[in-house]
Amino acid sequence: MRTTEMTIASDFVALQGLVCVPDGARGIVVFAHGSGSSRLSPRNQDVANILQRAGLATLLFDLLTGEEHAHDAITAEYRFNIPLLGRRLSGALDWLRTQPALAPLRVGLFGASTGAAAALCAAAERPGEVHAVVSRGGRPDLARDALPLVKAPTLLIVGELDTEVIRLNQLAAAQLLCEHETVIVPGATHLFEEPGKLDEAARLATGWFLPRLV
């Protein structure tokens, strides 16, 4: 396993990222974190570890700069700015293509909370480049007009007790024209904090990504 800290130039800012590449990896999953989170999110890192053990590389990176993150913690100004988050995720995909060791890998996107909308926007913009999308406790409804343009197979994972987000995912799923599936995880709330529930979501994500990225 090779783990490297990276600085990614995207949308005219420098963003911090963490790339982990298992030996023999043939696919990479790029994470778009949710509201108020970062590449150091324990939940996303836990999911990334499970993907890595399955042989997939991962890229966790900050969608916001340190200054923006601090400002957003007070004002929530950036976390729902889906066009901004989508541009930064697309910039990270551009960066991947400049890295000789990473460029050959098939790309999947994993989005949580508002990051799911950014992932779907990036997938709609790059139909030949993104091969699979997974949303965990996401807000795909915020992708709006991008939803019918998504070509990548898309998995929506929602906690059973996250009733409002289930409704919003169902509305989004009705607009998807690509292969898609919605899975409700029994007993899970929005953050999948209950014992074993995050691991269950990670296993679902792994099962979705592997046949499409490897």
DSSP β-ladder status, 27-32 and 13-21: unpaired
**pLDDT tens for residues 143-202?**
999 999 999 999 999 999 999 999 999 999 999 999 999 999 999 999 999 999 999 999
Domain ranges for the chain: 2-104+114-213
Beta carbons within 8 Å of 55's beta carbon, 6+ residues apart? 22, 24, 25, 26, 210, 214
Q: Where residue 78 falls among pLDDT bands split at 50, 70, 90?
A: confident
Taking the model in full, what pTM does it have?
A: 0.95
Question: Tokens 């998504």 correspond to what residue?
Answer: 150
**CA 88 to CA 51: how far, in whole Å?**
23
Q: How many CB atoms lie within 10 A of CB 17?
A: 19
CA dist., res. 172 & res. 210, Å (int)? 24
Question: Is the CB of residue 88 less than 8 Å from the CB of residue 63?
Answer: yes
Fold (CATH) for 2-104+114-213: Rossmann fold (3.40.50)
CB 116 within 8 Å of CB 139: yes
- CA–CA distance from 61 to each of 65, 143, 165 (Å)? 10, 20, 25
Q: Summarize pLDDT for 49-65 with one digit per residue, the tens.
A: 999 999 999 999 998 88
Name 31's Cβ contacts closer than 8 Å, sequence gap at least 6: 39, 44, 47, 48, 58, 59, 60, 61, 109, 110, 111, 112, 115
